[in-house]
Structure 1
Amino acid sequence: MQNHVLTRIPSLWGAVRRASGAAAVLAALTGAASAVTVPILVADVDSGRVIYSQAATDPWYPASITKLMTTYVALDLVRQGRASMDTLITISPAAAAEPPSKMGFKPGTQLTLGNALKIIMVKSANDVAFAIGESLGGSVDGFAGLMNDAAHRIGMQDSRWFNANGLPDPRQWTSARDMAILARALIREFPDQQDLFSISAIQFGGAVIPNHNGLLGRYPGADGMKTGFICSGGFNVVATATRNSHRIVAIVMGQPSPRERDVKTADLFDYGFGQQSAGPSLDALPASSLSAPPDMRPYVCGGKKVPPIEEGPGAVTASGTTAAQLLGGSAANSPSLALAAFSSPAMRARSLPPRAPLQPVAVWIGRDPAEGQRILDQQVAEAQAAAANARTARLEAAKARREAALAKRQAAKEAAKEAAAQAHAAKVAAKPAGSAKAASKAASGGLPRAATAYTSTDSAAMPEAKPGKGLTKAKPAAKAAPHGAKADTQTKAAKATPHAAKPAKKAAKADE
């Protein structure tokens, strides 16, 4: 049956046959017989009959297609009257701390359940899905219990749920068969909520956010449902399409890129709509022999190229890995993985037509759009005030740094001057004592070299006047000299100035 199915997929058959021949077709769609193949399933929504499947019951990491299970539980609680689409969902600090993809709402933000479901279906926001679980289940664990109860009730056999957003948890897995059962339950039990799964974009404030589902608006008749990605699970999708009132669901998992996932799903839709009959029911598919999901991380996120980010950081295509490498490699907890189908040049070169114009659906926080706008305006004002305060603080800090630097330079300048003065004083103090003559000069107050201790400070006396002429006879100056002096000062002066004495005698005679 499988080979018959494969040869009836016209678009993929032609593309791969032209590139690699019939052998490449078989490898591209089924993988080697000895390898574990990625899960693929196509089923009729109305009857639940299988149109095509491979590895449909193998355990697999679901990533964000988990949010379909979250939505089912939320809608079921509304149906039971335990919640309503107007129930307010509160973003807790734990929810706000969840990694991307996310809306980035502040803790304490509230929004209605209806808006929250639209956001997780389009934006795949992990913070909002986490908040739905906390608000409706009382806790993450409480909501996970509701998810597992609902899964068991609708006939899912291979799924185990531990969180509401699909972020990596080694304990959380599902299967392609279980996701087909879930898709049918959402479509059949909640016909009034089908618009949730076909929204092309949401508009929040001034931002328009397109749906991650690359089939919407690109494949004729595509009308849902949800994509997902983590490194360990690859790129997954649960997709539905309708043609001539015939609706089918396709589940494709483990793809190395969003484009290859979308192209593969489109080819499966082409095949499914061309079939006149279907095979066994979903319940009749045989159980898997695998005890745990294979880890796709080495092959999906182990490349060197910049990732095409979708529902979280770190998504990388496996375009640099050859089929031979993949078939020869092995994951840490699984046999060899066959990914020749998804790394073949023919598959990588194909793409879908451009997307039709988006038709955004408005979402808001708060109870209604008016309240939501008031909250957004308040948040914008607070953000602007915070930015202004931060700018003022930066300017003041810069001014303080400049003043501190100036004071530091001034202090350094003063310290340098003081150090120079101290160095000069130390140099003077350290200079050697001068000669004995310099010391004597300093002690005597700087007398001339010719001066001695015996030099008189008296001026030369006038010549002695003769008696009887009205003049008093002056005492000889020599008598005033100290005892033991060598010679009379006047005599010395006379001898030293012989020419000066004669005019003095003439002057005396003239006076007489």
Structure 2
Amino acid sequence: MTWASNLLKFILLAILFIQSPAYSRIKHTKSKTMPAALIYDASSRKVLYAHNINRKIHPASLTKMMTVYIAFERLQQGKLSLEDEITVSNHAANAKPCKLGLEAGETITVKEAILATIIKSANDAARAIAEEIGGSERKFAYIMNRKAKALGMRNTVFRNASGWHDPRQTTTAVDLLKLAIALKRDFPEYYPMFRLTSFMFKNKEYQGHNHVVKNYVGAEGMKTGYISASGYNLVTAAKRGNRRLIGVIIGGKTAKERDGRMITLLNKYFSTSNKTFIKSVKSKPKSKKIITSVATLKVDKIA
């Protein structure tokens, strides 16, 4: 009788827990992909499309946008120059792929490290930048968080410079938009680096894998990212005529799907057709099912 009574109590408690808000939050955080998307019009200073834009996600290599922001800031302040050489540490050399293949003790210029971080999304180059500026990657993460707060990225926490997965490293689509806006606004002299699709290092040419920047006419660049905890992510800035749009896509199941979502949304809000503005991405984007709502927000609520 005691055994049956205890079993009944256990079942009742389990049912109550499953129905509780706490259980709902647990289910939510276990999701491998948490799709979010937005399109921002820099001319009207409004968000034209918004889907889950405040949901916390893991940024993956979109983290490198902040790493580069801080590097640009040091260049602008005269604390670094593009020709300065960084000596690669063991910590940087031991970064896991994607990487440039830097070896401990060799040198890389600040310009090369920035280009490798943007174009190849090289984790070893991002670590090298972090250590050059912060003394250590952990101290650099503190600088990143302080800057995120200054830029109004209220729901962002950085733990490293590369975006290598740390469950505590989180952000939102809105916060990534704020960072993208700041990169263009604060560093017009260095911002064009995001448009480049290849770079040279030690007499070898390295190609990037941002196919939207390569193939979408008017694309000004920005960054790709992927980790299994968040899916395939992308921030893209593009200009057509006098209009500049910034898009953020989080949680694509594949790079192809992610790129297709971005292209579909940019085309829609540029009021153009895929045929007109896509040079070589010929596959039909599989993105309509996540386009669920359009929200118009004033930029003073965002940046």
**Which residue does 2:102 correspond to in 1?**
105
Contact 1:234 1:254 in 2 (8 A): yes
Residue 194 in structure 1 maps to residue 191 in structure 2: yes
Question: How do 1:265-344 and structure 2 match up within 5 A?
Answer: 265-274=262-271, 279-282=296-299, 284=301
**Which residue does 2:90 correspond to in 1?**
93
Report the identity percentage. 37
Q: 1:250 to 1:118 in 2, by over 3 A?
A: same
CA distance in 2, matches of 1:132, 1:262: 28
Q: Given residue 274 of structure 1, which amino acid in structure 2 is its aligned partner? A: S
**Which residue does 2:205 correspond to in 1?**
208
Q: Per residue, is there more strand in 1 or in 2?
A: 2
**Which residue does 1:139 correspond to in 2?**
136
Q: What is the deviation of 1:48? A: 3.4
The secondary structure found in structure 2 opposite 1:252 is strand
Residue 253 in structure 1 maps to residue 270 in structure 2: no
Output the TM-score relative to the length of structure 2.
0.78
Output the TM-score relative to the length of structure 1.
0.47
**Which residue does 1:226 correspond to in 2?**
223
Q: Given residue 301 of structure 2, which amino acid in structure 1 is its aligned partner? A: A
Q: Given residue 237 of structure 2, which amino acid in structure 1 is its aligned partner? A: T
Per-residue CA distance 1:235-290 (angstroms, 9 max, x = gap): 00011111002111000011111101111100010112139x982124537xxxxx
CA distance in 1, matches of 2:48, 2:237: 14
Contact 1:177 1:282 in 2 (8 A): no
CA distance in 1, matches of 2:201, 2:44: 38
Contact 2:113 2:126 in 1 (8 A): yes
Question: How do 1:392-431 and structure 2 match up within 5 A?
Answer: none
The secondary structure found in structure 2 opposite 1:86 is coil
CA distance in 1, matches of 2:179, 2:231: 20
Q: What is the deviation of 1:206? A: 5.0
**Which residue does 1:54 correspond to in 2?**
51
If you compute each CA radius of gyration, which structure gives the higher value, 1 or 2?
1
Contact 2:50 2:295 in 1 (8 A): no
Q: Given residue 93 of structure 2, which amino acid in structure 1 is its aligned partner? A: A
Q: What is the deviation of 1:47? A: 4.5
Q: What is the deviation of 1:83? A: 2.1
Q: Given residue 219 of structure 2, which amino acid in structure 1 is its aligned partner? A: A
Contact 1:91 1:131 in 2 (8 A): yes
* Residue segments in structure 1 that go unaligned for 5+ positions in a row: 1-34, 286-512
CA distance in 2, matches of 1:278, 1:38: 16
CA distance in 1, matches of 2:253, 2:298: 29
Contact 2:34 2:57 in 1 (8 A): no
How many residue pairs get matched?
250
* Residue segments in structure 2 that go unaligned for 5+ positions in a row: 1-30, 273-293
CA RMSD, Structure 1 to Structure 2 (Å): 2.0
Q: What is the deviation of 1:82? A: 2.3
2:63 to 63, 66, 74: 66
Per-residue CA distance 1:92-117 (angstroms, 9 max, x = gap): 01110110011111101112211110
CA distance in 1, matches of 2:44, 2:86: 36
Per-residue CA distance 1:184-213 (angstroms, 9 max, x = gap): 100011111122101121233453322121
